[in-house]
Structure 1
């Protein structure tokens, strides 16, 4: 059983692309991030080069696990068995990937010890079982401890049920003239959530330009936003969803989420997905009423001394 670690997006998509597309829900983040890197280049999320990996249970077997990272954000684990997640922690230690800040492409077997290596890694996220297995192996190898940053739940849209009655107003795509307002909302959203989220003005500009950022307008002004990822492998993911604190409780978030979901369906998405924080019962109930149902428990953890 071996992981191949690489900094080549082309290699990652060539080797793991079929596996990612075969499981679009569990690999939603990897699919959308890889698609953006292919479109906007390796600096789409930051100056450091992205990192990738794929796992095969045997030397000649099919890919059965994958991860990626766009520093400074934490590694994101895609679908993989627990044994692969533990092996990935060992591969990181053996490669010195998070001690030196880089690694060479190659295959690494699980089971490396190297206590103290790679201590710069301070978090990981993904499916709950995989994250727990990775964290246990990582902490055993490095002497660090882990703490839960956020419990998430991945949802799939089964049948869209728009709010009825809808709040006053209408949904529309965001406009370039709203860049400053929406950039502020992205920053506010990023400050509220406990997960990695790209808040730069460039992210807002890109979403406005490609028509994947939607607002709910009431009385001639935007009152809430919902983004969606471009359709990749038949999948689109909703997020972020944000309403300024003073405008909450009026149904805007549900309405703009329903609208963004409808846009994704119209663009050909067979799978429309979103994540919720399990600590927020309000948002979880809103999305359930819209027709979203649970798919997978997810987890983000941090590492500390």
Structure 2
């Protein structure tokens, strides 16, 4: 039983394809990151079966996919994560992250507690918000880029200087939707990732503070979720912050159901 590592997404896919496809929902973070990750890894059992995967992006921050606690603990020992004193942060399913963090013997603190949801039967918001949904266009890039920065600040992360390229990619591929108020003003947004192994993840759900409390986020989320379903996405997913009961309740009203809990930790030395 051993961990293997590569910087090649093609080599990683070849080695871990069966494991990635078998539970695409639980591997959503790794599937999303693997084409830009600096390091990818897979855990093979004695019989060669892969039962654990990870993707490291950004550097020093591995995201753990579906894996056994044994595989997670093995990352903390020789043959596990190579290089330096180990990562600065780790993210992934709660049991795996805790197993790894405890095995390192390093002091650590939780930073985020998330829940992964999967869409069941999509249920439109009731009452329906006023206004309508539409696909974002090139003309919306400046506004959406500013909102993306506000979103990152709102979730407590360090924002980048410019999100123009980030949102342009999503808009040009038709993956970002806006909710317009009756007067035509965009008042909320939601995006969906590219589809990989039949799964795609809703993200960038954001409503500026002055527009909240009117159901606009529900309208935008329902619209982007419906578009993903109509495009043939088998598993429409999203993450919520467990500390935010409002968003957790909203997504469940729309038809999202819990899959598993996730944890992010920071090592304090």
Q: Secondary structure at the match of 1:129?
A: helix
The two structures have a TM-score, normalised by structure 1, of 0.83
Partner residue, 2:211: 247
Deviation of residue 196 (structure 1)? Answer: 8.6
**For structure 1, which segment, 272-281 or 199-208, has the greater mean C-alpha deviation from structure 2 after superposition?**
199-208
Partner residue, 1:57: 45
1-structure distance, mates of 2:76, 2:170:
34
Compare the two structures and name the one with the higher helix fraction: 1
Alignment pair present for 1:172 and 2:134? yes
Alignment pair present for 1:81 and 2:61? no
| Residue pair 2:38, 2:59 contacting (<8 A) in 1 also | no
Match of 1:226 among 182, 190, 203: 190
Alignment pair present for 1:24 and 2:24? yes
Q: Secondary structure at the match of 2:55?
A: strand
Alignment pair present for 1:145 and 2:111? no
1-structure distance, mates of 2:39, 2:156:
22
Partner residue, 1:128: 94
Deviation of residue 200 (structure 1)? Answer: 3.1
Deviation of residue 55 (structure 1)? Answer: 0.4
1-structure distance, mates of 2:24, 2:80:
29
Shift >6 Å, 4+ stretches: 195-199
Q: CA RMSD in A?
A: 1.8
Q: Secondary structure at the match of 1:133?
A: helix
- Count the aligned residue pairs: 267
Deviation of residue 30 (structure 1)? Answer: 1.3
Deviation of residue 168 (structure 1)? Answer: 1.1
Q: In structure 2, do the counterparts of structure 1 residues 297 and 88 end up closer, same or farther at CA, with 3 Å as the change threshold?
A: same
Alignment pair present for 1:10 and 2:10? yes
- Structure 1 unaligned regions, length at least 5: 43-48, 100-116
Deviation of residue 150 (structure 1)? Answer: 0.9
| Residue pair 2:192, 2:228 contacting (<8 A) in 1 also | yes
Partner residue, 2:164: 201
1-structure distance, mates of 2:124, 2:159:
27
Deviation of residue 164 (structure 1)? Answer: 2.2
